[in-house]
């Protein structure tokens, strides 16, 4: 069954409550390895996906989602290929001429057995799909390849230089630059070319496919100290610098950044230049620059801020990817060079564009929607070969006068709309090809700049990819040491928490007391502590600066956990984890113990909690959802300020459709169930190995982010800490 939706017209924010004085409150059996607790008994769970073997449609293959596309009782992940429809186009794989691309019409113009949707030469018979130069165009219709063959030229990289005289035969380098005269072109020479001075910069190799470059240096060892300022910027860059040069063969999107946090006492800044003599600055930043650049030669300066005393080590990361027009015929492809190629998961995209610069105005409406989307648009396209969680949002607030909407499509012809929204789409997708269109609402006058933050994560939530066991361990630790010390709306954390070697995040407000959003923050920080203690991996503290957990600026994760719909579009911890590339929103039914939830109530209040288990109307706990579920058990801070009756504790949350039945412990009733993340914000956190630098994480790691304006605050009418049984 699905719960009925409840919609309200007011915004609700998290709240808290106190639980019974049962500190363990974990009256569940301790099951052996390869077992799972289900309805009060330990049952075998061979694949460790939290589903008992007897209920698992793939008992030997982790498949938490239990997707069964053809309804034959065998999950997609272990279904024989002849019974499986990978791209969900209602045509089984053994009969589908494009197994991974949704193409129900099965059009095959050249009758070569390969559908047009995935044929690299759709008008010329080429059943083998040979593509010698790997440019996405089959050999039989590749004009460049055919010209080379006709002229008896062997030129693997298509740069116009024959392989037998090419100093980089597999890397596009028509100029054949070889700065150190070692016979290996700069474009493929793994040894530094140059000395890092203005006269002799290091060469970053870029070919027609772009670049992925890394370089480590120490500015205290540089012999170059020639640039002190970069007009029109007037910051003091009087310390030593290293210079880099790169040449783009075509228009590309370039990013350059240094690893953060920087070593103590080191302050290196990044400058992107179009010329060294004279110095012509394109963009500068404390840690990262990004720009879309035309073909040509450009420069990077890694310069020491404030003189020699701040010189030291840095690691430079540089990427360049070919610019794609973002039209229907040349969409922005996510992570691949051709649409039939599936995206490598997990995947995060941060893309900055301006629809006023787009030449595409092909779609005016998206039936059955009738809204006027007649302004210019940009197209994105991607293929996935397994079920995924999808999230795409335009960062708020939009610029004054700008109004861009998002549209998720399964086909451009015919136009097939899956979902639209003013700025955010969060959903699940089956294997197949999809399109996302950022379109201007109501004509050209609303065109403008936007930032797209997009995330794709596999739905196969195997334990190795999750952080939930450490979250649950953190709850046990806090419950054993800091439970029921009292609740206070103006207090943060029950105790001081060390942040690796970077310092300590102090407890503030009334000693030992905390509020619910701070409880979620505390559980996450303690889980990170336990993880380092268990694994010895201290890099968990390097992903975000300590500042991010202390302040309420737009680039701080604390502000997103604190909830702010208007400025940063965060409905709670689940949104916060997605915004910073640490997790993803998932439907309530797909939560696992140790997930994060922000609830809203029909009474006009809300709460930030950590999910412990599903419950039925007797309070029986389940680790996976079933038709008897009426709510869930959680852990947070709530109740009164009196020690022993408020503070860190458990509660039983009951959805409003099911009344307020008796439970083994204190209840939290009137909870709104909704498939909308706006009303029931639910999500999981990934293992640190799978944290990716999404938009806010990128910004948060810049030194200048310390000065981002405060965007979150509290309203005690919502965060009053009182639940049903208080």
Per-domain boundaries in the chain: 192-322, 334-459, 464-707
Architecture of domain 192-322: Sandwich (2.60)
Q: What average pLDDT score do residues 291-312 get?
A: 95
Count of Cβ atoms closer than 10 Å to residue 354 Cβ? 15
More confident position, 157 or 676: 676
192-322 and 334-459 share one fold: yes
- The DSSP element (H or E) to which 479 belongs, if any, is helix 468-481
For residue 451, list its beta bridge partners: 352
Q: How far apart are CA 507 and CA 516, in angstroms?
A: 14
Cα separation values, 655 from 39, 474, 628, 670, Å: 20, 26, 12, 6
Q: Residue 462: exposed, middle, or buried by beta-carbon count in 10 A (0-12, 13-18, 19+)?
A: middle
Q: What average pLDDT score do residues 368-372 get?
A: 95
Q: How far apart are CA 429 and CA 683, in angstroms?
A: 16
pLDDT at 695: 81
Architecture of domain 334-459: Sandwich (2.60)
Exposure on the CB side of residue 31, measured as CA atoms within 13 A: 18
Q: How far apart are CA 499 and CA 481, in angstroms?
A: 19
Q: Residue 216: exposed, middle, or buried by beta-carbon count in 10 A (0-12, 13-18, 19+)?
A: exposed
Taking only the tens place, the pLDDT of each residue in 322-363 is 888 899 999 999 988 788 899 998 998 888 899 999 989 999
Q: What average pLDDT score do residues 670-690 get?
A: 94
Exposure on the CB side of residue 29, measured as CA atoms within 13 A: 13
Give me the helix-helix angle, 468-481 and 516-535, nearest 10°: 110
Rg (CA), the chain: 28
Count of Cβ atoms closer than 10 Å to residue 24 Cβ? 10
Q: What angle do CA 22, 24, 26 make, to 5 degrees?
A: 110
Q: What percent of the chain has pLDDT over 70?
A: 86
DSSP class per residue in 606-643: EEEEEEEEEE-TT--EESS--TT--EEEEEEEEE-SSB
Cα separation values, 309 from 221, 266, 305, 704, Å: 13, 8, 9, 20
Q: Reply yes or no on whether the pLDDT at 153 is more than 80.
A: no
Please give the structure tokens belonging to residue 708: 């981002």
Q: Tell me the average pLDDT of the chain.
A: 86
pLDDT at 22: 32
Q: Reply yes or no on whether the pLDDT at 71 is more than 80.
A: no
- The secondary structure of 653-708, three-state, reads EEEHHHCCCCCCCCEEEEECCCCCCCCCEEEEEECHHHCCCCHHHHHHCCHHHHHC
Which of the four pLDDT bands, split at 50, 70 and 90, describes residue 152?
very low
Taking only the tens place, the pLDDT of each residue in 87-143 is 777 887 768 888 778 888 888 887 778 888 888 888 887 766 776 665 678 877 875
Give residue for tokens 């105005």: 361
Taking only the tens place, the pLDDT of each residue in 562-618 is 998 888 889 999 999 999 999 999 999 999 999 999 999 999 899 999 999 999 999
Give residue for tokens 């559908």: 115
The pTM of the full predicted model, rounded to 2 decimals, is 0.69
Q: How far apart are CA 424 and CA 421, in angstroms?
A: 6
Q: Reply yes or no on whether the pLDDT at 63 is more than 70.
A: no
Q: Reply yes or no on whether the pLDDT at 24 is more than 60.
A: no
Strands 646-655 and 667-671, how do they pair? parallel
Q: What average pLDDT score do residues 713-725 get?
A: 76
DSSP class per residue in 5-18: P---SS--------
Q: Reply yes or no on whether the pLDDT at 40 is more than 70.
A: no
Which of the four pLDDT bands, split at 50, 70 and 90, describes residue 158?
low
pLDDT at 194: 81
Catalogue the E-assigned strands of 376-458: 377-384, 388-394, 404-412, 415-421, 424-429, 432-440, 449-458
Annotate 616-643 with b (16+ C-beta within 10 A) or e (fewer). Answer: beebbbbbbeeeebbbbbbbbbbbbbee
List Cβ neighbours of 421 (8 Å cut-off, separation of 6 or more): 405, 406
Please give the structure tokens belonging to residue 353: 């564009």
């Amino acid at each position: 069954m699905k719960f009925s939706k409840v919609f309200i017209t007011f915004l609700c924010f998290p709240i808290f409550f106190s639980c019974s004085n049962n500190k363990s409150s974990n009256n569940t059996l301790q099951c052996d390895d390869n077992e799972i607790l289900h309805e009060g008994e330990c049952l075998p769970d061979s694949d460790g996906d939290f589903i008992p073997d007897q209920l698992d449609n793939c008992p030997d293959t982790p498949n938490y989602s239990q997707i069964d596309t053809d309804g034959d009782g065998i999950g997609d992940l272990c279904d024989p290929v002849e019974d499986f429809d990978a791209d969900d186009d209602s045509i089984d794989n053994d009969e589908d001429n494009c197994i991974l691309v949704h193409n129900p019409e099965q059009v095959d113009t050249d009758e070569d057995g390969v559908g047009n949707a995935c044929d690299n030469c759709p008008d010329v018979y080429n059943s083998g799909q040979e593509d010698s130069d790997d440019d996405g165009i089959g050999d039989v219709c590749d004009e460049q390849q055919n010209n080379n063959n006709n002229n008896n030229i062997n030129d693997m990289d298509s740069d116009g230089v024959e392989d037998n005289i090419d100093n980089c035969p597999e890397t596009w380098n028509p100029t054949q630059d070889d700065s150190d005269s070692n016979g290996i072109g700069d474009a493929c020479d793994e040894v530094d070319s140059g000395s890092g001075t203005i006269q002799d910069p290091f060469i970053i190799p870029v070919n027609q496919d772009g670049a992925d470059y890394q370089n480590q240096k120490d500015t205290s060892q540089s012999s170059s100290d020639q640039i002190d300022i970069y007009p029109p910027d007037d910051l003091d860059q009087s310390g030593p610098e290293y210079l880099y040069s790169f040449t783009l063969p075509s228009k590309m999107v370039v990013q350059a950044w240094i690893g953060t946090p920087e070593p103590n006492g080191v302050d290196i800044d990044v400058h992107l230049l179009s010329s060294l003599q004279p110095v012509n600055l394109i963009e500068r930043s404390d840690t990262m620059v990004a720009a879309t650049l035309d073909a040509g030669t450009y420069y990077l300066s890694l310069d020491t801020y404030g003189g020699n005393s701040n010189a030291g080590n840095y690691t430079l990361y540089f990427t360049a990817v070919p610019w794609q027009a973002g039209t229907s015929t040349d969409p922005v492809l996510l992570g691949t060079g051709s649409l039939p190629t599936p995206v490598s998961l997990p995947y995060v995209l941060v893309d900055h564009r301006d629809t006023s610069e787009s030449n595409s105005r092909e779609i005016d409406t998206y039936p059955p929607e009738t809204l006027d989307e007649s302004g210019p648009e940009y197209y994105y396209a991607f293929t996935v070969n397994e079920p995924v969680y999808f999230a795409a949002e335009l960062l708020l607030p939009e610029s004054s006068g700008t109004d861009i909407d998002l549209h998720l499509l399964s086909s451009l012809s015919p136009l097939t709309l899956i979902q639209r929204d003013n700025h955010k789409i969060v959903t699940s997708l089956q294997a197949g090809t999809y399109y996302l269109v950022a379109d201007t609402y109501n004509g050209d006058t609303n065109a403008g700049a936007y930032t797209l933050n997009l995330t794709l994560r596999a739905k196969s939530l195997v334990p190795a990819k999750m952080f939930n066991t450490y979250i649950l361990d953190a709850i046990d630790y806090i419950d054993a040491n800091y439970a029921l010390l009292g609740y206070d709306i103006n207090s943060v954390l029950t105790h001081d928490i060390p942040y690796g070697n970077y310092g300590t995040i102090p407890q503030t407000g009334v000693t030992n007391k905390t509020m619910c959003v701070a409880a979620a923050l505390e559980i996450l920080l303690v889980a990170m502590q336990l993880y380092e203690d268990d694994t010895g991996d201290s890099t968990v503290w390097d992903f975000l600066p300590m500042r991010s957990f202390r302040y309420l600026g737009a680039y701080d994760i604390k502000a997103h956990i604190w909830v702010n719909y208007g400025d940063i579009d965060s409905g709670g911890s689940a949104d916060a984890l997605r915004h910073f590339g640490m997790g993803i929103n998932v439907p309530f039914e797909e939560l696992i113990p140790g997930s994060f939830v922000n609830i809203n109530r029909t009474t006009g209040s809300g709460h930030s909690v950590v999910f412990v288990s599903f419950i039925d109307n007797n309070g029986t706990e389940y680790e996976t959802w079933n038709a008897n579920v009426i709510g869930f058990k959680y852990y947070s801070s709530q109740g009164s300020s009196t020690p022993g009756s408020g503070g860190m504790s458990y509660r039983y949350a009951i959805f409003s459709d099911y009344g307020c039945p008796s439970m083994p412990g204190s209840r939290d009733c009137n909870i709104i169930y909704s498939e909308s993340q706006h009303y029931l914000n639910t999500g999981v956190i990934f293992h640190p190995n799978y944290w990716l630098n999404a938009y806010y994480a990128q910004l948060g790691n810049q030194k200048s982010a310390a000065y981002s304006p405060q965007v979150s605050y509290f309203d005690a009418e919502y965060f009053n800490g009182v639940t049903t049984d208080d």
